[in-house]
Structure 1
Amino acid sequence: MTRYDVKRELKQCYAPKNSDWALVDVPAQRFIAVDGRGDPNTSADYARAVQALYAVAYTIKFTSKRTLGRDFVVGPLEGLWWSDRPEVFTIRDKDAWQWRMLISQPDWITKDLVDEAKRAALEKKGLSTIADVRHETLHEGLSAQLLHIGPYDDEGPVLARLHHEYLAANDLRMCGHHHEIYLGDPRRTAPEKLRTVLRQPVQRVHRPV
């Protein structure tokens, strides 16, 4: 049985080589998701959301393999981040961050299968946040993206360059939430070696001729 691995199937989205901003076309994807707000380093809601996502993700994996004969590698943790004030990301005002944590799912994973996995995971784990996990589709399309290597708190300057230089220089504007894909485990990886895909959906600005 060949296991589906989103990092292999969508290399342009999960394994970029560029360390400066470049454009990529991101296809529609299915995810499981949980929303919240606050500093991911200190928020109990954030910790519970991530725990619930992984509990459901692995239950989906085992259910898919057992009932459908289709196996897959559980994808990396991802996050959409936003605020009414975009500058809170460049100045790292984390208490003002809103977030939607995600784990990608293969196309054959339906809402019904997710709901079945939620019931099983809730019964086994007893985590109330599992009830908040939902199935959703995200289609970001044209996006600016790069691979950031280093601590999460070092992202400020590269995001400032996106907001204040790259977008205007390329006649682009932001049109969706800031997206991060965490390719390293911060519990086991030195901060300077962490690998994070940074992505921002964009639209082209049509200038008058």
Structure 2
Amino acid sequence: MAFDYKKEYKEFYLPKRKPELITVPPMNFIAVGGKGNPNEEGGAYKESIGLLYGIAFTIKMSKKGDHRIDGYFDYVVPPLEGLWWQEGTEGIDYSRKEDFEWISMIRLPEFVTRDEFEWAIAEAEAKKKTDFSKVEFFTYDEGLCVQCMHLGAYDDEPATIEAMDTFARAQGYQPDMGGQRFHHEIYLSDVRRCKPENSRTVIRHPVKVINL
């Protein structure tokens, strides 16, 4: 049976619908960065998703080709994730989607080295006749965070975020956005196939001890 990161690491992908603290270890991803409204048809964000899945499935399906990746095991491609921020804004302003900056990403299995990533880029470009140069090998060390499962539309996330912030402060922590620490979303639902009110999204925010 294929290894499923969501099932094997439930603490990272299937949190409860109430805030909790968690320490997230470093993970490797394939990633594409960009700017702009994610809902724009034909925009950079939607292009990034196509590029990510092109590489993700090149790696997954390598088992059927001549290239053998050392340590390969069959697996379910992990869910799409996103890091989000807006220059000069503390937190996220959902009314200014055109000002979003983002990194779209998909987790890589541990056996994928930088060399294997470079092989996948070259393989995908040769087979799909597409430029994958925007895709990067990205290591993210997230550390201590507060997270929660959000059920509903993306525009309704502020209520969940407020609950997360309140919980974190009650535990002696405060948000720690900025630098390399971002608003983080993990998408467990296909928005093309489910109603917005049924959409499941993991929301994760970095935190630090409250400065007294």
Indicate whether the TM-score tops 0.5.
Answer: yes
Higher helix share: 1
Cα distance in structure 2, aligned partners of 1:22 and 1:90: 23
Please point out which of 152, 155, 161 is paired with 2:154. 152
Instruction: Establish whether residue 118 from structure 1 lines up as the match of residue 121 from structure 2.
Output: yes
Please point out which of 37, 40, 58 is paired with 2:38. 40
State the AA in 1 paired with 2:117. V
Work out whether residues 147 and 164 of structure 2, in 8 Å CA contact, stay in contact via their aligned partners in 1. Answer: no
- Per-residue CA deviations over 1:2-28 (Å, capped at 9, x if unaligned) read 4222112211010112x2321111122
Report matched runs for 1:125-204 at 5 Å. 125-128=128-131, 130-163=132-165, 165-173=166-174, 174-175=176-177, 176-204=181-209
Cα distance in structure 1, aligned partners of 2:9 and 2:26: 11
- Per-residue CA deviations over 1:98-144 (Å, capped at 9, x if unaligned) read 0000101111111111111111111222332x111111211212110
Residue matched to 2:104: 101
Work out whether residues 81 and 178 of structure 1, in 8 Å CA contact, stay in contact via their aligned partners in 2. Answer: yes
SS in structure 1 of the partner of residue 92 of structure 2: helix
Percentage of pairs with the same residue: 38
Residue matched to 2:73: 70
SS in structure 2 of the partner of residue 89 of structure 1: coil
SS in structure 1 of the partner of residue 45 of structure 2: helix
Work out whether residues 88 and 94 of structure 1, in 8 Å CA contact, stay in contact via their aligned partners in 2. Answer: no
Work out whether residues 88 and 96 of structure 1, in 8 Å CA contact, stay in contact via their aligned partners in 2. Answer: no
Instruction: Supply the RMSD in Å over aligned alpha carbons.
Output: 1.9
Task: State the shift of 1:87 in Å.
Answer: 5.3
State the AA in 2 paired with 1:7. K
Work out whether residues 91 and 183 of structure 2, in 8 Å CA contact, stay in contact via their aligned partners in 1. Answer: no
TM-score using structure 2 length = 0.87
**Which 5+ residue runs of structure 2 have no aligned equivalent?**
none
TM-score using structure 1 length = 0.89
Task: State the shift of 1:182 in Å.
Answer: 0.2
SS in structure 2 of the partner of residue 75 of structure 1: coil
**Which 5+ residue runs of structure 1 have no aligned equivalent?**
none
Task: State the shift of 1:193 in Å.
Answer: 0.6
State the AA in 2 paired with 1:143. C
State the AA in 2 paired with 1:170. Q
State the AA in 1 paired with 2:110. D
Distance of aligned partners of 1:92 and 1:170 in 2 relative to their CA distance in 1, 3 Å threshold? farther
Distance of aligned partners of 1:25 and 1:56 in 2 relative to their CA distance in 1, 3 Å threshold? same
Distance of aligned partners of 1:111 and 1:162 in 2 relative to their CA distance in 1, 3 Å threshold? same
Work out whether residues 34 and 53 of structure 1, in 8 Å CA contact, stay in contact via their aligned partners in 2. Answer: yes
**Number of residue pairs matched?**
203
